[in-house]
Amino acid sequence: MNKYELAVVVSAKIEDDAREQVIEKVKALVERFGGQISDVDEWGKKRLAYEIQKMKEAYYYFIHFEADAEAPGEIEQRIRIMDGVIRYLCVRQEA
């Protein structure tokens, strides 16, 4: 099992409850592929480095989890097509 950090940038245009549902779906995906979530860090609304889809701000979430090496690829493949997610990145953390 490797440790990973999944950064998810969620659109600021969607409602609060819809944003929470997006994060719950992402957490469910992690668990579906054998990941064990240790922490969900919500940074809140931040200014983007550059404009994405005519938005200058978005909500940032960082999900820390442990999983097998195949899990991040499967998770990213499904996050890619989720509504509300404008950017994502999963990186392996050093032990």
Q: What pLDDT digit, counting tens, does each position of 56-71 carry?
A: 999 999 999 999 999 9
Q: How far is the C-alpha of 88 from the C-alpha of 46, rounded, in Å? A: 15
**pLDDT over 90 at 5, yes or no:** yes
Indicate which CATH number applies to the domain containing 36: 3.30.70.60
- Quick one: average pLDDT of 29-52? 94
**pLDDT over 70 at 39, yes or no:** yes
Domain that holds residue 18: 2-92
Please give the tally of structural domains in the chain: 1
CB burial class (10 A; 0-12, 13-18, 19+) of residue 15? exposed
Grade residue 4 by pLDDT with cuts at 50, 70 and 90: very high
